[in-house]
Amino acid sequence: MIADSDQWFRISNPDEVNSPALLVYPERIGENIERMIASVQHKSLLWPHVKTHKMPEIVRMMMNRGITRFKCATIAEAEVAARSGPDEILLAYQTVGPNIRRYFELQKKYPGVSVSCLVDNEEVAAKLSEMSAVSGIPAKVWIDINNGMNRTGISPGQNAVQLFRTLLNLPGIDAQGLHVYDGHLHESDFTIRKQMCDEAYGTVEPMIAELRSESYKLRIIAGGTPTFTIHAAREGVEVSPGTATLWDYGYSSSFADLQFLHAAVLLARVVSKPAEGLVCIDLGTKAVAAEMPHPRIKIMGMENYEFVTHNEEHMVIRPGKEEKLNIGDILYCIPVHICPTVDRYNKVYVAEKGMVTGEWEVEGRKRKITI
Looking at residue 6, its pLDDT comes to 84
Q: What is the mean pLDDT of the chain?
A: 97
Residue whose C-alpha is closest to residue 263's, from 34, 19, 17? 34
34-46 pLDDT, tens per residue?
Answer: 999 999 999 999 9
For 18, half-sphere exposure in the C-beta direction (CA atoms, 13 angstrom radius) is 6
Q: Is the dihedral of CA 171, 174, 178, 182 positive or negative?
A: negative
Nearby residues of 233 by Cβ (< 8 Å), 6 or more positions away: none
The Cα 215–Cα 82 span in angstroms is 32
Whole-structure pTM value: 0.97
User: What are the chain's domains?
Assistant: 40-240 (3.20.20.10), 264-363 (2.40.37.20)
Looking at residue 5, its pLDDT comes to 67
295-340 pLDDT, tens per residue?
Answer: 999 999 999 999 999 999 999 999 998 899 999 999 999 999 999 9
Inform me whether the pLDDT recorded for 2 exceeds 60: no
Provide the pLDDT confidence category of residue 215 given band limits of 50, 70 and 90.
Answer: confident
The Cα 67–Cα 69 span in angstroms is 6
Cβ–Cβ under 8 Å, residues 349 and 356 = yes
Buried b (16+ CB within 10 A) or exposed e, 238-273: bbbbbbbbbbbbbbbebbeebebbbbbbbbbbbbee
